[in-house]
Amino acid sequence: MEKLNKTKKKTDIKIKKTASIKWRNGSYSIGIIIAMIAIVLVVNLLVEQLPSNIKEVDISTNQIYSIGDTTREVLNDLEEDVEIIILAEEGNIDQRIEQLIDNYVSASDHITKEIVDPVLHPSALTEYEAEANSVIVTCEATGKQRVIGFGEIIVYDQMAYYYYGQYQESEFDGEGQITSAISYVSQEAENKIYTTEGHGESSFSTTITDLIEKGNLETESVNLLTNGEIPEDCYLLVIYAPTSDLADDEKDMILSYLQTGGKLMILIGTGGESLPNLEEVMETYGLELVDGYIADTQRYYQNNYYTIFPVFDTTSEICSGLGSDSLALVLNARGMLATEDVRDGLTVEAFMTTSEDGYAVTGNNDSTQGTYLLGAVATETVQIATASDATLADATTADAQNSSDTEAQTRVTVISAGTLIEQQITDSFTNLANTDVFMNAVTANFDEVENISIPAKSLEISYNTVTNPNSWGMLFIAVIPIGLIVIGLVIWIRRKRA
């Protein structure tokens, strides 16, 4: 009996020891679990404080949440604080828009974001002069703001609604719209382009006007004869594909305007009309229009020598950003040559030419081979006399002593192929550089304007297409399974023999 009691005591001691060990191990495990949970919570809290561009990865098909190089340049040059206000109920904010704006905030210390609910704060609609479901980009330093509706960012396919009565998203233009707005509100200057009228000129397509607006440039038409002068706020005068010539008075106005540092852009049309006054303006700045249309037997499209791919001079600022494989397409182009004797101080540089196998072909089927200019810029630094208290014409001797000469740069850009921006080409060949070249040529005339031609990103679903599906199907359905079975049998037989 005593022996049984001793055995029982020993068993109780072992049980107690085992229970104690289990309790300690259990406590240790619980402690580790609690510590790991605390670490996870702390890490999550720390990660939550990181910028959106670090803690989130854009895995969308077309990178709709990402900002590109053009946007980064705009943000890097930003000197004023810009606020982006989302004017919408929080439950109605498209997360794609908010996520993109968060990436702007992360990319620049000058950008801040605020969400204003117009239901809780109805006075905000009046304060910002905007409707609900809008993005307001504002800069207090300049006092400027721009309102962007959600419908301008998320574009719907109008044809799908017209034919099927369905709202189908087609494009996401968040980066293009927001970057353009930031650039606009942060700049003091108002940049204005005037397009001439009264000579049968062509009008810019919707594609081009949208890009000009994104570049924060304002356009207005002017009839030089009825206006009597080139407007004082004209920073760039554009003559787009006229079918009739300038009057003598208009020619004189333009030449006087250029002599004081004016900026002129000419796009030659396809009509082939004789335009002696316009050509005289070009020749004054070192560019001579040749007779006939331009063919290129080396760089042509679909067996048509008159539909050509120009050669770019990638060292030119107008062709900046274009790669060696970048292409543009023009048809029925006219050609130019740089005049041999140009006055001192006048520089003519080509940015777009034919190959050496270019031909100027006239109506008599006569052709002259050579390298012809399709786009060129003439620049000249001019001295402008200014007086402090009176105009030079009426200045007294004292006033003349207060006068001084200031420098300005005259710039004449001529594109002899107006089809560069023809809508049929720009909308059919969106992968080409036509609009980039044109917008670079436009914005090169302005000191603080960048070519913000950021295209909208497609929201169409991209499907993975498997080429040769029968071959792949045979591989996965037959070859791989049979191969695995054979390998398994070989291994099994070897083990059995061993």
236 token code pair: 């760039």
Between 104-118, 185-199, 389-403, the lowest mean confidence (pLDDT) is in 389-403
Q: How far is CA 461 from CA 166, 182, 385, 464, in A?
A: 16, 30, 61, 10
What span, in angstroms and rounded, lies between the C-alpha atoms of 266 and 446? 16
406 token code pair: 């200031």
Question: For the residues 363-388, what does the mean pLDDT come to?
Answer: 87
Question: Residue 493: pLDDT band by 50, 70, 90 thresholds?
Answer: confident
The single-letter code of the amino acid at 72 is R
What span, in angstroms and rounded, lies between the C-alpha atoms of 346 and 287? 11
pTM reported for the whole predicted model: 0.68
Which helix (DSSP H) or strand (DSSP E) does residue 250 occupy?
helix 248-259
- Burial (CB count <10 Å: 0-12, 13-18, 19+), residue 418: buried
More confident residue, 12 or 202: 202
Q: Is residue 276 scored above 90 in pLDDT?
A: yes
What span, in angstroms and rounded, lies between the C-alpha atoms of 266 and 413? 6
Between 157-166, 256-265, 310-319, 424-433, the lowest mean confidence (pLDDT) is in 157-166
Between 29-43, 227-241, 338-352, the lowest mean confidence (pLDDT) is in 29-43
Q: Which residues contact 122 (CB under 8 A, 6 or more apart)?
A: none
Question: Residue 87: pLDDT band by 50, 70, 90 thresholds?
Answer: very high
Residue written as tokens 């509706």? Answer: 149
Q: Which long-range contacts (CB under 8 A, 24 or more apart) does 367-370 make?
A: 367/292, 367/295, 368/290, 370/337
Q: Which residues contact 5 (CB under 8 A, 6 or more apart)?
A: none
- In degrees and rounded to multiples of 5, residue 64 shows phi and psi of -70, -20
| Mean per-residue pLDDT over the chain, rounded | 83
167 token code pair: 């709202």
The single-letter code of the amino acid at 30 is I
Please check whether residue 200 is in contact with residue 175, taking contact to mean a CB–CB distance below 8 angstroms. no
Question: Residue 294: pLDDT band by 50, 70, 90 thresholds?
Answer: very high
230 token code pair: 């080139």
17 token code pair: 């020891």
More confident residue, 460 or 270: 270
pLDDT value of residue 25: 59
For the beta carbon of residue 395, count every other beta carbon within 10 angstroms: 17
269: left (phi over 0), alpha (psi -120 to 50) or beta: beta
185 token code pair: 């509100």
Please name which of 107, 113, 109, 112 lies closest in space to residue 73, comparing C-alpha atoms. 107
Residue written as tokens 């606020």? Answer: 83
More confident residue, 270 or 355: 355
The highest-confidence range among 52-66, 81-95, 249-263, 458-472, by mean pLDDT, is 249-263
Please check whether residue 451 is in contact with residue 439, taking contact to mean a CB–CB distance below 8 angstroms. yes
Three-state SS at 132: coil
Q: Is residue 255 scored above 50 in pLDDT?
A: yes
More confident residue, 451 or 138: 138
The highest-confidence range among 95-99, 384-388, 449-453, 459-463, by mean pLDDT, is 95-99
What span, in angstroms and rounded, lies between the C-alpha atoms of 220 and 241? 16
Interior/surface letters 242-266, b for 16+ CB within 10 angstroms, e for the rest = beebbeeebbebbbebbeebbbbbb
